[in-house]
Amino acid sequence: MQENSVTRMLQLIVMILAITVRVAGQGSSPPVFVVLWFDTEDYILPQDDDAAKRLAETLTGLGVRATFKVVGEKARVLESRGRSDVIGALKRHDIGYHSNTHSQQPTIAVYLQNAGWEDGRAEFFRREAQGARDVQRIFGVTPVAYGQPGSAWAPQAYPALREMGIGMYLDEADHVGIDDQPFYYGGMLNVFKMRSNLARMELRGGASLAEGKARFTKSYEALRAKGGGTISIYYHPNEWVHTQFWDAVNFSRGANPPRDEWKVPGTRPTAETEQAFRDFEQYVRFIKALPGVRFVTATELMTIYEDRAVARSFRRDDILGLARAVQEEITFQRFDGYALSASDVFSLLTGAMAALGERHDLPGELRIMRLDGPARTYAPSVGGARSSRYPRDAFVRAVRDVAEFSRASGRMPDEVWVGSESLSPADYVATLGQALEAAMTTGKLPAEIERRAGQFTADRFVAEDAPALWGWVIFPEGFHAPRIMELARLQAWTLKPAVRQR
Ligand SMILES: [Zn+2]
């Protein structure tokens, strides 16, 4: 071997080592996923079309994919203005949905304020499905994620969105959430109530960029110290070009002007708009260059936070552990690589007891049936005495009835009937846990099943109703919605943290 080939060989080895070290370093460095989303909603100010297009193209140029949540009316307006260039630019990113008409009265939380579960779901579907179909027709893709206009959140949206083929909830407000990170609720991945992990650079020029970088760095470093996580960043394309929101100009405090009286919002001076675009590009470049950062779309998040519990087989030991846990507290539980909601546990324990009642043995493995929570708050049955124990056969029949109801309706029952007496879902689960534990540890179900009080606590992650929760300028003055938040607490049966798989 000649001297220069030895040198070249050594150089090659050093290079390979350097690459290996870098790749290994990346593998062990905690990932920070950044979901950047744009509520694309201003169907009044035409300059918004160009702002949306320019943002989409800038990001494409930077190799970053964002999620554009498009309002149905905005999609129709783009189509009628012949803006296939805007549609084409946005389509290179993820396309989401952001309601049919956004701020036209009545807004979602207002029209659902007195609705129940099933009628509310049907009403949301009736009013909002056409916008999703229009986004689909105009953009050629099924919207992947949805988020509410303003703070017009309601739990009945979830089953209706699933019916529209939408798989993820992507927005920001305070109604429900776990520790400022992604979670499952209503049968969907949610990036919502991210608070400390919501980063947003202002678009006011001056110190905006420096402050935006500092704000992002704070969340980024805190997440890295905790082993990684997700940061949410949102904007509206119209923020680059307007002086006031299109809807605040027209629909504030419940205002309901006819279309021919809608006012066009003012526009920012060109120099300000240009500065905002420059700052934004610098902001994205800064974030992208940080070690461990990956910009992700809604679609990618659904893979990163895939719910592994759904495909998992649960065995005897799992069931025994869950049967014991629910006697103490009924809430979500974290395990290695997956999490279970209270409704997941409800379905597993019901399935286990139904099998035990039929075959006198547990099946080798059990699967979760994904269920929505109850549709109304439990009220005790009227008349008669309240038993403290139930005959075994009566209880087993009640469990079979629960299994049948759940299969037929896709949700938990509001109450469980043992003969002419009812149990709340929480008391049912605690009672069921105790009976299962007895059967699994002694080899047979006791002749009498003792009633046990259940402590359902997952609803502490749902906000209390208060006017401040509904602080959106479009709502009528003083608006709040106790019924919506009552249903939200019932749906906390479906709440659990999203576990990162990648
Ligand atoms: Zn919006």
Ligand 1 center to 209 CA (angstroms): 23
Geometric angle at alpha carbon 501, from 495 and 502, rounded to 5°: 140
Say yes or no to pLDDT of 51 above 70.
yes
Ligand 1 center to 226 CA (angstroms): 31
Ligand 1 center to 70 CA (angstroms): 9
Q: Which long-range contacts (CB under 8 A, 24 or more apart) does 421-425 make?
A: 421/381, 421/384, 421/386, 421/387, 422/378, 422/380, 422/381, 423/398, 423/451, 424/378, 424/380, 424/454, 425/346, 425/374, 425/378, 425/454, 425/456, 425/493
Residue of 375, 352, 340, 378 lying closest to 494 (CA atoms): 340
Q: How far apart are CA 186 and CA 461, in angstroms?
A: 14
Q: What is the model's pLDDT at position 7?
A: 54
Mean pLDDT of 351-359: 92
Side chain identity, residue 228? G
Q: What percent of the chain has pLDDT over 70?
A: 94
Ligand 1 center to 501 CA (angstroms): 30
Q: How many CB atoms lie within 10 A of CB 142?
A: 15
Ligand 1 center to 303 CA (angstroms): 25
Ligand 1 center to 497 CA (angstroms): 26
Say yes or no to pLDDT of 230 above 80.
yes
Ligand 1 center to 482 CA (angstroms): 23
Ligand 1 center to 442 CA (angstroms): 57
Ligand 1 center to 156 CA (angstroms): 19
Determine which of 133-137, 330-334, 359-363, 456-460 has the lowest per-residue pLDDT on average. Answer: 359-363
Which H/E stretch holds residue 59? helix 47-61
CA dihedral sign of residues 6, 9, 15, 20? negative
Determine which of 5-9, 34-38, 496-500 has the lowest per-residue pLDDT on average. Answer: 5-9
Residue of 366, 340, 361 lying closest to 351 (CA atoms): 366
Determine which of 116-130, 269-283, 373-387 has the lowest per-residue pLDDT on average. Answer: 373-387
- Token readout for 382 is 């009227």
- List phi, psi (to 5°) of 294: -135, 120
Is residue 467 classed as helix, strand or coil in its secondary structure?
helix
Q: What is the model's pLDDT at position 172?
A: 98
Say yes or no to pLDDT of 223 above 90.
yes
- Quick one: pLDDT band at residue 8, thresholds 50, 70, 90? low
Ligand 1 center to 219 CA (angstroms): 24
Ligand 1 center to 149 CA (angstroms): 4
CB-hemisphere CA count at 13 Å for 90? 33
- Quick one: pLDDT band at residue 10, thresholds 50, 70, 90? low
Ligand 1 center to 44 CA (angstroms): 13
pTM of the model: 0.93
Ligand 1 center to 461 CA (angstroms): 24
Mean pLDDT of 498-502: 94
Which H/E stretch holds residue 222? helix 208-225
Ligand 1 center to 339 CA (angstroms): 31
Q: What share of the chain is helix, strand, coil (3-state, %, to 5)?
A: 50, 15, 35
Condensed to tens digits (0 to 9), the pLDDT of residues 173-218 reads 999 999 999 999 999 999 999 999 999 999 999 999 999 999 999 9
Q: What is the model's pLDDT at position 19?
A: 45
Ligand 1 center to 47 CA (angstroms): 17
Ligand 1 center to 158 CA (angstroms): 18
Determine which of 17-26, 136-145, 189-198 has the lowest per-residue pLDDT on average. Answer: 17-26
Q: Are 301 and 35 spatial neighbours (Cβ–Cβ below 8 Å)?
A: yes
Q: How far apart are CA 430 and CA 329, in angstroms?
A: 8
Ligand 1 center to 39 CA (angstroms): 5
Ligand 1 center to 71 CA (angstroms): 8
Mean pLDDT of 293-316: 98
